[in-house]
Structure 1
Amino acid sequence: MPTEILMPALSPTMEEGTLAKWLVKEGDTVNSGDILAEIETDKATMEFEAVDEGTIGKILIEEGSEGVKVNTPIAVLLEEGESADDIETSSAPAPAEEKPAPAPAADEKPEPGPQQAAAAATPATPAPAAPEAADGSRIFATPLARRIAADKGLDLTQIKGSGPHGRIVKADVEGAKAAPAEKAAPAAAEAPAAKADAVAMPASPGAEQVKKMYEGRDYEEVKLDGMRKTVASRLTEAKQTIPHFYLRRDIKLDALLKFRSQLNKQLEGRGVKLSVNDFIIKACALALQSVPDANAVWAGDRILKLTPSDVAVAVAIEGGLFTPVLKDAEMKSLSALSAEMKDLAGRARNKKLAPHEYVGGSFAISNLGMYGIDNFDAVINPPHGAILAVGAGVKKPVVGADGELTVATVMSVTLSVDHRVIDGALGAELLQAIVENLENPMVMLA
């Protein structure tokens, strides 16, 4: 029977997206892995691949449609031998311009709308609803895989998907055998108790309340795009839930600047030009190896200690920011880190990063020194354990080792730390390791 193609979750934070462009049309034959559409997520424009073979029987969502919720049917795929006549009218979504009717009161029965009446007149056998894991997270599976799993009595939470981003596809369930679900009921029973224990956070004033404060004043309303909504949500979460504390140090950069100048002269023939930020990335990566207990993230009810140094670097783009992750940064040369960072930053500004390139990491760097900022406090990007805020290097009078007053190039840094993951002394040890690497740059090449 016809299979619904659903709006995919192409990033961990995606709840809705824009169907930017269809790359297929009705009647086209597609195979698994073929590109169906371009979808704008909260972070990037990404290609959406087919996970099953068949023919595009009907396109349900027009290209350019914004705010399409994850798991909304966007097209119908026909199997061999099926035709457009087999498509059930109940699979078609409501027109984009219609707004959902308000929910009925508890003692009222909703009046059936045109589509509900059509569905009642024509019995439908839709795919079972997308299942959830014990922790409430969604299990992503194709409609055909869900139907097969329901027929065979399979528990999709026990099946590992082989499709894009771990999605469960037809091949995953065809050879699987039914097994009893493990402890789903106790987990479900604990959820209400956990919610009851949560303390309600005070709500911010709504748009209408704020607009009333500025009646009679000229202003422009700026619509929030997906990225801005995500930035607002995650930073609010970070400041409300992460117990930040801050450690500050001044770093003398003269030895690093001299060493960088020498290296850049030697690398000129290869077209390589190292930045101070490249040295900072390397210094942080090596420091996380020197202080492995600080190379950690918060995971709800436990701490995950990472073995590699996966360092995220904040990149400002129009309307928001990305934090691409340089994985295994401790293993890479300065020139390799420089080239990778330039590539990631360039694609970040064009919103062409894939989720695996900006998800993860245990530590982040935010450098506003290039904008002339002397020092600032950065907000931790969950689930990271810390973030280093980097200010500008400026000439300052300092007291030398011999007690003489001299002038040095000094850079102020602030380490924002999640106290649930890293205690004060451990954070100080990590920052000390970063300072030593930057003040003695040749050590980083040993």
Structure 2
Amino acid sequence: MPINILMPALSPTMEEGTLAKWNVKEGDEVSSGDVIAEIETDKATMEFEAVDEGTIGKIFVPEGTEGVKVNDLIAVLLEEGESADDLDTDASPDADASSNAAPAEPSEQTEPAKGYGREGGAAQEEKPAAPAPSRKDGERIFASPLARRIAADKGLDLADIEGSGPRGRVVKADVENATAKPKTASAGKSDGTEKDTKALPADQMAPKAGAPAQGMSADVVAKMYADREYEEVKLDGMRKTIAARLTEAKQTVPHFYLRRDIHLDALLKFRSQLNKGLEAKGVKLSVNDFIIKACANALQEVPDCNAVWAGDRVLKLKPSDVAVAVAIEGGLFTPVLRDADSKTLSTLSAEMKDLATRARDRKLAPYEYQGGSFAISNLGMMGIENFDAVINPPHASILAVGAGLKKPVVDDEGNVTTATVMSVTLSVDHRVIDGALGAEFLAAIKSNLEDPIAMLA
């Protein structure tokens, strides 16, 4: 029986991707473990391996195709004795009847798909979809399960939404950009009957309680600048993901902020001594390496801060897995240094350099930039003195690191002198960490950085 090859979910949050390259062509024989394609997610290019052996009977999605939904049919594998003549050549990646699985909703995906499903069985366990709706003229409405759910939540009729997907399929973006039609208001008469009134203007309709704020649509913004010259920049997958996740973070995570100044003179002197001794080994430690180590140790010293928000509970981690923001062209990565508390400075330095290099080449695997309970965002090397960073869910906190600058300070004897001072801001999720606990955590970070020798003892 032919085996449907479906677009894989290469990370828990992946909804669509780009089929960057086919490493096989129709008629090629493949074995389990062969790399048959390269898939671009929002942040990386991943290899897609075959899990069965057979012959590539038909490729439905050409290489270079963007926006291929997870679980869309991309190719068919023939088993021994089967012929391409037996296949339905009119099938397409969006054909609901011929595909063995509908696009999975992101909220239902618990782990990346590792292969593809046989005809009649899905690669991932899914809930049965509701009966397909139709328009007034009887034409069937094609819509993804996620789009149907969002439409139901927003009170939208799919028949009123024009789909932008293949064959006019209504997808998530179509529903998110749509607005419900104004409903006719009615007022009760004194005799208990009702009279019809004109429909309320859209700007006077009360939003649903608890509904997230909606920004202006693309059409509205474009009209505002219709008389000005501009260039329209298409959003790539990474930019869309950053926009969605940061909007989610600011709308759903109750941030509060704690600030401290950290004196770096002892650390800079100690770093200089270490680098002289490590020069023969080709190791050069950065201030950021010390910050990573200090934060990893602080998570062990204040273990209640080594936690993540998990919807209806808090998960407290044992190891210190520290994420570090890395700027790349068009966006950023947050690769995770696992077990950072138990590693030496030189090991952390080497790992960070490797992760940063591969992040800029978009060669990180999902497990290398997912996870952790805490993150560091350092803009000090760019001259920024201080700033507030946005928490990356489900993390409970993030440390924004500013530049170390020479400043006048008052010493313990009351004398005015100069010191290298670095301003840091800890953004905290109040659902996980309260003010006093966050202050204790930030004090531990400060103590480690101002007494680096003790930190390494």
Contact 2:19 2:68 in 1 (8 A): yes
Answer with 303-312 or 395-404: which moved more: 395-404
Partner of residue 171, structure 1: none
Query: How far apart are 1:92 and its partner, in Å?
Result: 2.7
Structure 1 CA distance for aligned equivalents of residues 21 and 214 of structure 2: 37
Does 1:44 find its partner at 2:44?
Answer: yes
Is 2:239 the counterpart of 1:232? no
CA distance in 1, matches of 2:278, 2:231: 50
Counterpart position of 1:383: 394
Q: Deviation at 1:384?
A: 0.2
Distance of 2:434 and 2:85 partners within structure 1: 65
Deviation sequence 1:61-82 (CA, Å, 0-9, x none): 1111111111111111111111
Deviations 1:148-194 (A, max 9, x none): 689xxxx958xxxxxxxxxxxxxxxxxxxxxxxxxxxxxxxxxx99x
Query: How much is the aligned-residue C-alpha RMSD, in angstroms?
Result: 2.6
**AA partner of residue 93 (structure 2):** P
TM-superposed CA distance for 1:127, in Å, is 2.8
Aligned-residue offset at 1:317: 0.5
Q: Deviation at 1:144?
A: 4.1
Q: What is the alpha-carbon distance in structure 1 between the residues aligned to residue 418 and residue 84 of structure 2?
A: 78
Total equivalences in the alignment: 381
Amino acid at match of 1:23: N
Distance 1:72 1:235, change over 3 A: same
The equivalent residue for 2:287 is 276
Residues 100 and 122, structure 2, Cα contact 8 Å, conserved in 1: no
Equivalent residues in 2 for 1:255-266 (5 A)?
Answer: 255-266=266-277
**Corresponding position of 1:92:** 92
CA–CA distance in structure 1, aligned partners of residues 229 and 102 of structure 2: 48
TM-score (norm 1): 0.80
Q: Which residue of 2 aligns with 1:161?
A: none
Does the 8 Å contact 2:325/2:333 carry over to 1?
A: yes
More helix by share: 1
1:438 counterpart = 2:411: no
Which of 317, 328, 347 aligns to 1:336? It is 347
Aligned ranges 1:6-45 → 2 under 5 Å: 6-45=6-45
User: For structure 1, which runs of at least 5 residues remain unmatched after alignment?
Assistant: 95-114, 158-191
Deviations 1:255-280 (A, max 9, x none): 00000000000000000000000000
Summarize the alignment of residues 216-227 of structure 1 with structure 2, pairs less than 5 Å apart: 216-227=227-238
- Deviation string 1:369-419 (CA, Å, 9 cap, x unpaired) is 000000000000000000000000000011111111110000000000000
Question: Distance in 2 between the 1:296 and 1:212 partners?
Answer: 45
Secondary structure at the residue paired with 2:244?
A: helix
Counterpart contact for 2:34–2:50, Cα < 8 Å: yes
Equivalent residues in 2 for 1:75-90, closer than 5 Å: 75-89=75-89
Q: 1:30 is aligned with what amino acid?
A: V
Q: 1:149 to 1:398 in 2, by over 3 A?
A: closer
CA, structure 1 residues 82+293, in 2 after alignment: closer, same or farther (shift >3 Å)?
same
Give the gaps of 5 or more residues in structure 2. 127-151, 156-207
* CA shift in 2, pair 1:265/1:202, >3 Å: same
How far apart, CA to CA, are the structure 2 residues paired with 1:339 and 1:142?
A: 33
Tell me: CA distance 1:64–1:131, structure 2 relative to 1, closer, same or farther (3 Å): closer
For 1:149 and 1:75, locate their aligned partners in 2 and report how far apart those are by CA, in whole Å. 15
Give the counterpart letter for 1:33 in structure 2.
G
Shift of 1:142: 5.5
- Which ranges of 4 or more aligned residues in structure 1 deviate by more than 3 Å? 128-133, 135-150
Q: Cα deviation per residue 1:28-48 (whole Å; 9 max; x = unaligned)? A: 111121111111110111111
- 1:55-70 equivalences under 5 Å are 55-70=55-70
Code of the residue aligned with 1:79 in structure 2: it is: E
Find the counterpart in structure 1 of residue 321 from structure 2.
310
Matches within 5 A, 1:117-132: 127=100, 129=102
Offset of 1:141 from its aligned partner? 7.6
Instruction: Give the SS at the match of 2:273.
Output: helix
Letter in 2 for 1:207: A
Q: Residues 386, 138 of structure 1: CA spacing in aligned structure 2 closer, same or farther, 3 A cutoff?
A: closer
Q: Are the aligned partners of 1:58 and 1:77 in contact in 2 as well (CA < 8 Å)? A: yes
> Aligned letter for 1:302?
R
Give the CA deviation at 1:292.
0.3
TM-score, length basis structure 2: 0.79
Within a 5 Å distance, the mapping from 1:123-272 to structure 2 comes to 127=100, 129=102, 136-137=108-109, 140=113, 144=117, 147=120, 156=125, 199-272=210-283
d(CA) in 1 for partners of 2:259, 2:125: 49
| Rounded Cα–Cα distance in structure 2 between residues aligned with 1:402 and 1:213 | 60
Is this contact kept in 1: 2:101–2:122, CA < 8 A? no
Q: Structure 1 pair 199/40, CA: closer, same or farther in 2 (3 Å)?
A: same
Q: Distance in 1 between matches of 2:102 and 2:379?
A: 46
Report if the CA contact (8 A) 1:315-1:323 is conserved.
yes
Residue 198 and residue 24 in structure 1: after superposition, are their counterparts in 2 closer, same or farther (change >3 A)? farther
* Secondary structure, counterpart of 1:58 in structure 2: strand
Q: Deviations over 1:209-256 (max 9, x none)?
A: 001111211111000000000000000000000000000000000000
Match of 2:131 in 1: none
| SS of match in other structure, 1:272 | coil
> How many angstroms does 1:88 deviate by?
2.2
Equivalent pair of 1:309/1:327 in contact (CA under 8 Å): yes
1:295 aligned residue: 306
Alignment of 1:401-412 (within 5 A): 401-412=412-423
Residue of structure 2 aligned with 1:429, choices 418, 424, 440: 440
1:53 equivalent to 2:53? Answer yes
Give the secondary structure class of the aligned counterpart of 1:204.
coil
- CA deviation vs aligned residue, 1:95-126 (integer Å, no higher than 9, x gap): xxxxxxxxxxxxxxxxxxxx89xx7xxxx6x5
Partner of 2:120: helix, strand, or coil? Answer: helix
In 1, are the aligned partners of 2:8 and 2:115 still within 8 Å (CA)?
A: no
Structure 1 residues 258-267 or 140-149, which shifts more? 140-149
Q: Tell me the SS of whatever aligns to 2:356.
A: helix
**Structure 2 residue identity aligned to 1:40:** E
The one-letter amino acid paired with 1:393 is: G
Q: Give SS of 1:377's match.
A: coil
Which one of 414, 434, 438 corresponds to residue 425 of structure 2? 414
Distance 1:383 1:208 in 2: 33
